[in-house]
Amino acid sequence: MNVKLEGITKVFPNRDRKDKTGVVAVRDFSIDIPDGELVCLLGPSGCGKSTLLYMICGLESPTEGKVFFGETDVTDIPSEKRGVGLVFQNYALYPHLTVRQNIRFPLENLKGSDKLTREDMEDKVLEAAKIVQIDGLLDRKPGQLSGGQQQRVAIARALVKMPKVLLMDEPLSNLDARLRLQTREEIRRIQRQTGITTIFVTHDQEEAMSISDRIVVMRDGVLHQIGHPQDVYNDPANMFVACFLGTPAVNVFNGEIKRGGLYIGNERVMDVNGVKEMPVWVGVRPEGFIPDPEGAFTCDLNGVDVLGRDISVVCSHKSCESVIRTIVSAESEVDCESKTVKFNLKPNKTYIFDKESEERIRFS
Partner 1 sequence: MSSRKQLSGVNNVMTQVRGWLYLLPALLFLIAFMVYPLIDVFVYSYQEGFNSASQTSFGIGLYNYKYILRDPYFLKAVKNTFILVIITVPVSTGLSLLISLGLSSIQKLKNMFQTIFFLPYVTNTLAVGLVFMILFRKTPYTDGLVNLLIGKFGISPIDFIDGPYWAKMLVLSIYVIWIVMPFKILILTSALASVPEVYYQSAKIDGTSSWRVFWRITLPMISPMIFYLVITGFIGAFKAYSDAVAIFGVNLNAADMNTIVGYVYDMLYGDGGGYPSYASAAAIVLFAIVLTITVINLIVSRKATDNT
Residue 191: HSE in the Cβ half-sphere, 13 Å Cα cutoff: 24
Residue 35 or 108: the one with the smaller Cβ distance to partner 1 is 108
Q: Rule CB under 8 A: say whether 120 interacts with partner 1.
A: no
Q: Rule CB under 8 A: say whether 15 interacts with partner 1.
A: no
Q: What are the helix and strand counts (H, E) for the chain?
A: 8, 21
State the pairing for strand pair 289-291/278-284.
Answer: unpaired
Give the count of residues interacting with partner 1 (CB under 8 A). 22
Q: Which helix (H) or strand (E) holds 122?
A: helix 118-131
Q: Which of 61, 109, 348, 357 binds partner 1 (CB under 8 A)?
A: 109
Q: Rule CB under 8 A: say whether 105 interacts with partner 1.
A: yes
Note if the bond before 106 is cis, omega within 30 degrees.
Answer: no
Cα separation, 74 vs 163, in Å, equals 15
Residue 108 or 231: the one with the smaller Cβ distance to partner 1 is 108
- CB of 137: closest distance to partner 1 in angstroms? 19
- CB of 139: closest distance to partner 1 in angstroms? 13
What string marks each residue from 28 to 67 as x (binds partner 1 by CB under 8 A) or -? -----------------------------xxx--------
- CB of 171: closest distance to partner 1 in angstroms? 13
Window 152 to 181, contacts with partner 1 (CB under 8 A): 161
Cα separation, 105 vs 29, in Å, equals 34
Torsions phi, psi of 119, nearest 5?
Answer: -65, -45
Q: Rule CB under 8 A: say whether 81 interacts with partner 1.
A: yes
Q: Rule CB under 8 A: say whether 1 interacts with partner 1.
A: no
Contact (CB, 8 A) for 225 and 232: yes
Spell out the residues 6+ positions from residue 336 whose beta carbon is closer than 8 angstroms to its own: 301, 303, 304
Contact (CB, 8 A) for 189 and 17: no
Contact (CB, 8 A) for 151 and 125: no
- CB of 326: closest distance to partner 1 in angstroms? 44
Selected range binding partner 1 among 67-75, 79-87, 194-202, 296-304, rule: CB under 8 A: 79-87
Interface positions with partner 1 (CB under 8 A):
57-59, 79-81, 84-86, 88, 90, 92, 94-97, 105-106, 108-110, 161
